[in-house]
Amino acid sequence: MPPSRAGSNSFLFISQVFVPDPASVGQHIADAAAELVQRGHHVTVLTSARGYDDPSQRYLRRECIHGIDVIRLPLSSFGKGTIGSRMLGGIAFVLLSIVRGVALGRIDCVVVSTSPPIAAMAGVVLAALKRARLKYWIMDLNPDQIVALGKRSAKAVSVRMLDWLNRLILRRADDVIVLDRFMAERVHRKSSKIKRLHVIPPWPLEDVLSAVPHSSNWWRRQQGLRDEVVVMYSGNHGPSNPLAAILSAAARLVDVPGLLFYFVGGGIGKREVDATNLPNVRSLPYQPLETLAYSLSAADVHVVTLGDHLVGIVHPCKVYGAMAVARPVLAFGPEQSHLGDLISRNDIGWRLSNDDVDGAEHLLRQIRQMGDEARAARGRRANTMIVEELSKDRLCGALCDVFVLP
């Protein structure tokens, strides 16, 4: 790492995911790192040389992206197929990050997120060895998520060890950043010794996202779409985002002409989608970043889901992409949640409980009959909220202000 320029800092980001991997955590870390470079700081990122969702995808071992020095570590991701493979990849990534980080020159600040969940250990160790500030950017909470999903007991040794690590970094970090007020409440319950806690939501990928009218959207034409109303779920199909209600509703709505359901992305939940074999359901893989504006804009309504027991543990990031392309949101999840807050406060869509199949069927029949303007009005309100409150300039700037705090 070259010496810092006068008045600048050297930042080290530790994340198993980074661009060009499509996972959103890597995209947001890239945005923050690029903002720090623009401010005159030196930024190094330690990340995996393999894809997060698809470990067969390999990336350059070292490159410069927008002024960011990206170092990719081998054998540090084995995919998300099983908890065991994720844990093995996470442990390897942490150990390699510590070894590689020690060899770097001056580091003034270490920024660590929650990919993998044990990345905090690398942050604590390197911040101590380098006598650097430590910033903890929480994207989701584990082992809370694993326990909430019933994959591990709260009494399991691995769960108790990871919870101990969480409490350790919450005490050690100079600043802790969470994504919503519910996450802040949960983190506060974990530790009363947090020095500074900030609530900063993630931002949509505005550099690549804008609303594309159906009439000029080549992606819709490529899919053979004309006047159909498209209900879309786009992103990771994970266990934290239940799809049972929307899939059950789709099964009841096969008799409704011109109503189609698109499931775009990857993850273990794709098996559930693909198993339906419904004529009104279409399943597609992740779309390239450069075409994302077109695929998201092809929808008339976007579905965003959040498991009942996952409020404050995971954050419904998918909602921001829908809002950025000015589309209304059909949310499945608890009323007392970040999704519930967004929809009730701004009338940008509709919210249903995760088990309300009857309500989903009834509402979707209404949406199919609804005029384009009625749907578009909710979409415009969603986009206005992005512009006025949730823009990249505002939120990424606020986050980087936290990173440079002494």
pLDDT at residue 57, as a whole number: 84
Q: Does CATH place domain 214-389 in 3.40.50.2000?
A: yes
pLDDT at residue 4, as a whole number: 44
| Nearest partner of 294 among 383, 386, 212, 379, judged by Cα | 212
Q: Note the pTM of the prediction, 2 decimals.
A: 0.91
Contacts of 377 (CB under 8 A, 6+ apart): none
Whether 81 shows a pLDDT value over 80: the answer reads no
Q: Would 10-203+391-403 and 214-389 be classified into the same CATH topology?
A: yes
Cα 13 to Cα 44: distance, rounded to the nearest angstrom: 6
Residue range 199-214, pLDDT digits in tens: 999 999 888 899 999 9
Whether 195 shows a pLDDT value over 60: the answer reads yes
Residue range 280-339, pLDDT digits in tens: 999 999 998 889 999 999 999 999 999 999 999 999 999 999 999 999 999 999 999 999
Contact 176, 197 (CB under 8 A): yes
Domain residue ranges in the chain:
10-203+391-403, 214-389
Arithmetic mean of pLDDT over the chain:
93
Whether 357 shows a pLDDT value over 60: the answer reads yes
Whether 247 shows a pLDDT value over 80: the answer reads yes
Q: What is the DSSP letter of 298?
A: T
**Per-residue tokens: 131:** 């006598």
Taking residues 66-81, report their average pLDDT.
80
pLDDT at residue 64, as a whole number: 97
Whether 78 shows a pLDDT value over 60: the answer reads no
3-class DSSP state of 88: helix
User: SS in 3 state form for 255-294?
Assistant: CCCCEEEEEEEECCCHHHHHCCCCCCEEEECCCCHHHHHH
Give CATH for domain 10-203+391-403. Answer: 3.40.50.2000
Cα 37 to Cα 318: distance, rounded to the nearest angstrom: 27
pLDDT at residue 1, as a whole number: 44
